[in-house]
Amino acid sequence: MPLDFIIAPLPSALKAALQKKIDQKTKPLGALGQLEALALQIGLCQNSLTPTLSKPCILIFAGDHGIVEAGVSAYPQTVTAQMVANFLSGGAAISVFARQHSIDLLIVDAGVNADLEIQPKLIPAKIAKATRNFLNQAAMNPEQCNQAIQAGANLVLQQYQAGCNCIGFGEMGIGNTSSAALLMQCLTGLPLTECVGRGTGLNDSQLHNKLTVLQQALIRHDGLTKPLDVLATFGGFEIAMMVGAYLKAAELGILILVDGFIAGAALLVAYKLYAQVLEYCVFSHVSNEHGHQALLTLLKAKPLLKLDLRLGEGSGIALAYPLLQSAVLFLNEMATFAEAGVDC
């Protein structure tokens, strides 16, 4: 089934007025640096001179990967379900940071290889119990890929209807840096060695095995170029859901906070499908995972933070969110030169 998202460019009618409002604040021109660009982007995204942040939300998409059978991760597949339980009990890093900044946190079972107990903050959306091992066959079939994309889109629509206008997407899935690396390689043409990193903390021997396995997978599925074919062959259910979530959020005009390497790889797929999705994206940080900086460069992204994170979960989103609050607050509350009686 073809995708039918409609993503409009950011409206330009207010750009001059927003820039004038920013420039009239009691500061030298450009003195608030990236916060000024952020305020402008948020204002354009909401088509408002007085933008607000309403009901911020992070969706964590969780799914397992068949490629883990090939020893590409330092952790067993069972950790995915265990970490989902940790998110739900409030003990994970993202749980702590989301509470700190009053961000609603929801966990989506996109394809965890376990039967998860129903809980208020857990959204059941399982496509299957893990993708297939892409060393042998495509990770998912086209129908599963489309189902995951549409599921991610529907979840964003639900948040929008509940009043959310600022959203971010995290992920959990042992083995998903392997998927992300292959998505990046296939859609950018960069050498595989520039896309593959240590993930959950591989040692040198384990990293060599990961590179070997992923090279074999590329040979097995040689010639893929179309974004949806690449996604279905090498992606994960959680990554495919993020693709749909990005596209729907942009279609609805929701401001999107982008996390690290895996979230960035999902965005790369979305961008290859609908380039204007990037106009709605704020890049929270550059991670310590090998390949993320190159990916950000390709997307012409300017991340807000550099903290050497490599956790995933949406952790960078929660840490960067206060900067969005500051951008909105200075735009709406900071005095102008005229109001403050300051000569300019």
Query: Which positions are annotated as active-site residues?
Result: 313
The residue type at 287: S
Q: Left if phi > 0, otherwise alpha if psi is -120 to 50, otherwise beta: which for 292?
A: alpha
42-52 as b/e: b if 16+ CB within 10 A: bbbbbeeeebe
Task: Report angle CA 217, 175, 196 to the nearest 5 degrees.
Answer: 60
Q: What are the backbone dihedrals phi and psi of residue 107, each rounded to the nearest 5 degrees, phi first?
A: -110, 130
Which burial class, exposed, middle or buried, applies to 318 when counting CB atoms under 10 A from its CB (0-12, 13-18, 19+)?
Answer: buried
Q: Which of 56, 45, 36 is closest to 14 using CA atoms?
A: 45
Beta carbons of 71 and 206 less than 8 angstroms apart: yes
Could you give the CA distance from residue 107 to residue 123 in angstroms, rounded to a whole number? 6
Beta carbons of 58 and 318 less than 8 angstroms apart: yes
Tell me the DSSP string of 237-253.
Answer: HHHHHHHHHHHHHHHTT
Could you give the CA distance from residue 237 to residue 214 in angstroms, rounded to a whole number? 18
Could you give the CA distance from residue 239 to residue 181 in angstroms, rounded to a whole number? 12
